[in-house]
Amino acid sequence: MEFTKWQGCGNDFVVVDFLDREPVDFAALAVRMCDRHFGVGADGLMVVCPSETADVRMREFNPDGTEPEMCGNGIRCFARYLYDYGRVSKEQFTIETLAGMMVPRIVLKEGAVAAVEVDMGVPVLDAERIPATGFGTGRVVAQPLTVAGKEYAVTCVSMGNPHAVVFVDDADQFPLAALGAQFEYHPAFPRKINTEFVEVRDRTHARMRVWERGAGITLACGTGTCATLTAGVLNDVLDRAAEIEVDGGVIHVAWHEDGHIFMTGPAEPVFTGVWREDV
């Protein structure tokens, strides 16, 4: 089985194309392929599938085999795969996901792909829909949450997948490895949570580090940058357009007046290969 490897700001993915093939156990395949010692190594497996409602359907699986609703860096890499390999013939197209319909646009510069922009839709702010429990109804903005005996102010956002944003004084010094899983599995988040620890540098620039549910520490999280901007606006510490610096690079995020969030960033090929295991 042929595969391609991609990365967006260091968030890396394996893409396999099943447009013309019968589906297999993708969760089990993800566990094997994403293993960094015995497999290809990746933060997730992206599967190209046919769709009845969009140009293509995207399925994504974490290294632990779980299937999240959405992945921002992943959908940029997925979109570029579709464009580079001729699975779509236009620069803007639709992708069906568990989080709904997404609309990526290939950004060209002098005929070459410079970036991928994605309309990520409207952020969900209602606690019950995120979901986040114990905060009452309505928005969860700078609400107290006790983790490992310490109280943190969390702002919760869903970009099709759930996020908790915590503003900190120094993102690089925050003990992400020690506390990330304790946020992920906190009982306030019945479907677990992606957590962003964010240092605001100025109103158009923030430094973000992330713990992703099902994957742990990653170099970037596209939906996390969208959640970060949303939380920054709600807390009046960021403007409606900002550069979000992650461990692997910079992603531009803008929250338009119509409510839609647009994310623009890189999606780069790494290598191609053949997975020889029978699937």
List residues bridging with 274 in a β-sheet. Answer: 2
Q: Percent of the chain having pLDDT more than 70?
A: 99
Q: What is the pLDDT of residue 157?
A: 98
Q: What is the pLDDT of residue 207?
A: 98
Q: Give the tens place of pLDDT for each residue, 145-164.
A: 999 999 999 999 999 999 99
| Token pair for 50 | 């046919």
Give yes or no for residue 279 having a pLDDT over 70: no
Residue 156 CB contacts under 8 Å (≥ 6 apart), including other chains: 125, 127, 130, 132, 135, 140, 143, 162, 163, 164, 165, 193
The answer to whether residue 71 is catalytic is: yes
Q: Give the tens place of pLDDT for each residue, 48-73.
A: 999 999 999 999 999 999 999 999 99
**252 SS3 class:** strand
The catalytic residue among 9, 77, 156, 221 is 221
- pLDDT band for position 278 (50/70/90)? low
Identify residue 36 by its one-letter amino acid code: R
Please report the beta strands in 42-193, taking only residues with DSSP state E, as ranges in sequence order: 44-49, 56-61, 95-97, 100-109, 112-119, 143-147, 150-158, 162-167
Q: What is the pTM of this model?
A: 0.91
Nearest of 168, 139, 136, 140 to residue 152 by alpha carbon: 168
If phi > 0 it is left, if psi is from -120 to 50 it is alpha, else beta; for residue 259 that is: left
Q: What is the rounded distance in angstroms from the CA atom of residue 62 to the CA atom of residue 43?
A: 7
Q: What is the rounded distance in angstroms from the CA atom of residue 140 to the CA atom of residue 130?
A: 10
The answer to whether residue 221 is catalytic is: yes
- Name the average pLDDT for the chain: 96
The catalytic residue among 71, 77, 156, 226 is 71
